[in-house]
């Protein structure tokens, strides 16, 4: 197939797939459009590969500098986005059956797009959805979407050769080994999103557009992710950052699973970390350009100032910190901390918010901006719109860190890449609380960790056994006991005074 013919076929597919069976009723445009852009496994550090996104969203809006993924694993994190609930309330507790994955999500008819659709929004999704979609259960169109262009597993993890369910019709784009530039996954997602904006913007009905990219997640079993051909080699000589936690020398303060499963990284392992890091950054260049082009499409139609744009990642990723060469799930900052940027009506310009936020806040934020009501009786997150308007606001609300399924160290739970610690090591379920100053963690089996981030921001020395922190730990234990079973308002309550360590 020639490159020109491939481009023509992609263009034709975009036009056909973007045509709905019936046009939605038009209503007066009084509420903002909402565009949600999400990446997969992206860290805060990875944002250095996305200067356009930083300028066009963060520079024109607010960067939420301390945002967290409560359960740092793809499917639970994405269901939290769709429901505004912590995992212990939405009950998707992993990436695979029986406790996790798309097949375990029983509430697909009571989610953010359903609520927005009921409020009069046109809704569309492009790209990755929930782990197991099309693999564990048939790839049907989920409730709430007027337009559906969701990637079908396991092809979601292919930059070429992926299959999309396009409003009920399956279409495969290229093949895994044929790197046709016209069929690069991120570019096709971008073009699909822009086609939807072009068609919907002239109408008077507000729209919600969800665009979820694979980058910088690894492809299949290769452990790396391919960039667009035009970006190949762009990051070959890019410096790789090294935090003080990289290849941590002394892990005697860490739980037994990490001590047993994470030996010091040798030269080969460090070289592999660097190769992964550069491939991840390189893959984000196409996403950065997609953000630019989506913003340009909104501006071209006069809709940019009437659109709330939210950029986020589902969870973070390791790159050698605490001897963990890759993967997520584990409860340390590179895994749980995520980029979140927002611009649009009611959002301050060029500001940074430092209050703690969590991915359970995204659905309430979008509902608040849209003037829509949730179908679920209790949401655990809260709207970020007041904080977006006044980024100096402070809060003592703690963030829950939780898991619901133990992780096998040699397998990344999405089944696509080698995991982060030694083969055969089981990482127990944990629950934790993150406050402004502390991280306190409890594992099944009784092990504990406590970090005083004021003195130890890189989590190098757990003080859980330090007698000076006995009162601190007791207070955090009480907060965690509440959060681990919280629902609705109790999830949003403040932590109250946490005693500092004894002198």
Q: What confidence tens digit (pLDDT) does each residue in 309-345 have? A: 999 999 999 999 999 998 899 999 999 999 999 999 9
User: What pLDDT is recorded for position 138?
Assistant: 82
For residue 4, what pLDDT band results from cuts at 50, 70 and 90? very low
Q: Check whether 29 has a pLDDT greater than 70.
A: no
Integer CA distances (angstroms), 294 to 36, 198, 213, in order: 11, 10, 13
CB count within 10 Å of CB 485 equals 13
What residue has token string 């973007």? Answer: 18
Lateral strand order in the sheet of 62-64: 169-173, 162-166, 147-151, 122-127, 207-212, 33-39, 307-313, 340-343, 62-64, 351-353
Q: Would you call 336 helix, strand, or coil by DSSP?
A: helix
Start-to-end Cα distance in the chain: 73
User: What pLDDT is recorded for position 423?
Assistant: 64
400-492 has which fold? Arylsulfatase, C-terminal domain (3.30.1120)
For residue 221, what pLDDT band results from cuts at 50, 70 and 90? low
Q: Are strands 33-39 and 207-212 parallel, antiparallel or unpaired?
A: parallel
To the nearest whole number, what is the mean pLDDT of the chain? 91
For residue 144, what pLDDT band results from cuts at 50, 70 and 90? very high
For residue 42, what pLDDT band results from cuts at 50, 70 and 90? very high
Which tens digits make up the pLDDT trace of 372-426? Answer: 999 998 999 999 999 999 999 999 999 999 998 766 544 444 544 445 776 667 8
User: What pLDDT is recorded for position 450?
Assistant: 98
- Per 3-state DSSP, the chain is made up of helix, strand and coil in percentages (nearest 5) of 30, 20, 50
Strand (E) positions, 213-287?
Answer: none
384: left (phi over 0), alpha (psi -120 to 50) or beta: alpha
DSSP state of 58: I
Q: Check whether 15 has a pLDDT greater than 50.
A: no
* CB distance 36 to 211 below 8 Å: yes
Domain ranges of the chain: 30-393, 400-492
* CB distance 252 to 260 below 8 Å: no
Average pLDDT over residues 443-451: 96
For residue 61, what pLDDT band results from cuts at 50, 70 and 90? very high
In terms of CATH architecture, what is 30-393? 3-Layer(aba) Sandwich (3.40)
Instruction: Print burial letters for 433-446: b (CB count within 10 Å at least 16), e (below 16).
Output: bbbbebbbbbbeee
Helix axes 362-370, 74-83, angle to 10 degrees: 30
* CB distance 386 to 94 below 8 Å: no
pTM: 0.92
Q: Quote the CA–CA distance of 173 and 191 in Å, as a whole number.
A: 14
Q: What percent of the chain has pLDDT over 90?
A: 85
Radius of gyration of the chain (CA): 22
For residue 30, what pLDDT band results from cuts at 50, 70 and 90? confident
Per the model's pLDDT, the better-predicted residue between 28 and 181 turns out to be: 181
Which tens digits make up the pLDDT trace of 187-213? Answer: 999 999 999 999 999 998 999 999 999
- What is the number of H-type helices and E-type strands within the chain? 13, 19
Strand partners, 279: none
For residue 475, what pLDDT band results from cuts at 50, 70 and 90? very high
Q: Quote the CA–CA distance of 344 and 313 in Å, as a whole number.
A: 19
Residues 6+ apart with CB under 8 A from 202: 301
The set of catalytic residues is 74
Q: What percent of the chain has pLDDT over 70?
A: 90
CA angle, 370 as apex, 366 and 371 as ends, to 5°? 115
Integer CA distances (angstroms), 357 to 81, 252, 344, in order: 13, 31, 18
Look up residue 406 and give its two tokens. 């133990």
User: What pLDDT is recorded for position 416?
Assistant: 47
């Amino acid at each position: 197939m020639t490159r020109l013919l491939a481009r023509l076929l992609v263009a034709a597919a975009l036009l056909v797939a973007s045509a709905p069976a019936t046009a939605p009723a038009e209503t007066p445009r009084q509420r903002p459009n909402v565009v949600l852009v999400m990446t997969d496994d992206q860290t805060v550090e990875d944002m250095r590969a996305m200067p356009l996104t930083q300028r066009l969203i963060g520079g024109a809006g607010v960067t939420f500098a301390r945002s967290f993924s409560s359960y740092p694993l793809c499917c639970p994190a994405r269901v939290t986005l769709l429901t505004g609930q912590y995992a212990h309330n939405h009950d998707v507790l992993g990436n695979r059956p029986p406790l996790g994955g798309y097949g375990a999500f029983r509430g697909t008819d009571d989610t953010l797009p359903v609520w927005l659709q009921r409020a009069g929004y046109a809704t569309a999704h492009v790209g990755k959805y929930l782990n197991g979609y099309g693999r564990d259960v048939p790839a049907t169109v989920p409730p709430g979407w007027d337009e559906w262009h969701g990637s079908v597993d396991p092809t979601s993890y292919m930059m070429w050769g992926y299959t999309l369910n396009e409003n009920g019709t399956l279409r495969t784009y290229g093949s895994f080994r044929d790197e046709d530039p016209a069929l690069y996954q991120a570019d096709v997602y971008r073009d699909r999103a822009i086609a939807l904006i072009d068609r919907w913007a002239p109408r008077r009905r507000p729209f919600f557009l969800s665009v979820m990219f694979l980058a910088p997640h690894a492809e299949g079993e290769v452990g790396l992710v391919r960039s667009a051909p035009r970006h190949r080699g762009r990051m070959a000589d890019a410096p790789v950052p090294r935090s003080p936690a990289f290849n941590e020398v002394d892990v005697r303060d860490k739980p037994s699973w990490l001590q047993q499963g994470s030996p010091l990284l040798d030269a080969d392992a460090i070289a592999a970390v660097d190769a992964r890091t550069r491939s991840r950054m390189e893959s984000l260049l196409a996403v950065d350009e997609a953000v630019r082009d989506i913003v340009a499409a909104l501006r071209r139609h006069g809709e940019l100032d009437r659109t709330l744009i939210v950029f986020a990642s589902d969870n973070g990723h390791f790159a050698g910190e605490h001897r963990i060469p890759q993967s997520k799930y584990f409860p340390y900052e590179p895994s749980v901390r995520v980029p979140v940027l927002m611009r649009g009506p009611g959002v301050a310009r060029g500001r940074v918010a430092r209050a703690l936020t969590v991915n359970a806040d995204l659905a309430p934020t979008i509902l608040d901006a849209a003037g829509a009501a949730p179908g679920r009786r209790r949401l655990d997150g809260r709207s970020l719109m007041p904080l977006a308007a006044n980024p100096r606001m402070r809060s003592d609300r703690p963030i829950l860190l939780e898991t619901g399924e133990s992780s096998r160290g040699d397998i990344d739970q999405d089944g696509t890449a080698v995991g982060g610690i030694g083969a055969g090591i089981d990482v127990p379920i944990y629950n934790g609380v993150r406050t402004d100053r502390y991280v306190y963690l409890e594992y099944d089996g009784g092990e504990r960790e406590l970090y005083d981030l004021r003195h130890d921001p890189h989590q190098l020395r757990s003080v859980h056994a330090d007698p000076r922190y006995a009162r601190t730990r007791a207070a955090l234990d009480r907060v965690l006991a509440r959060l681990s079973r919280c629902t609705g308002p109790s999830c949003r309550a403040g932590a109250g005074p946490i005693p500092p360590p004894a002198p």
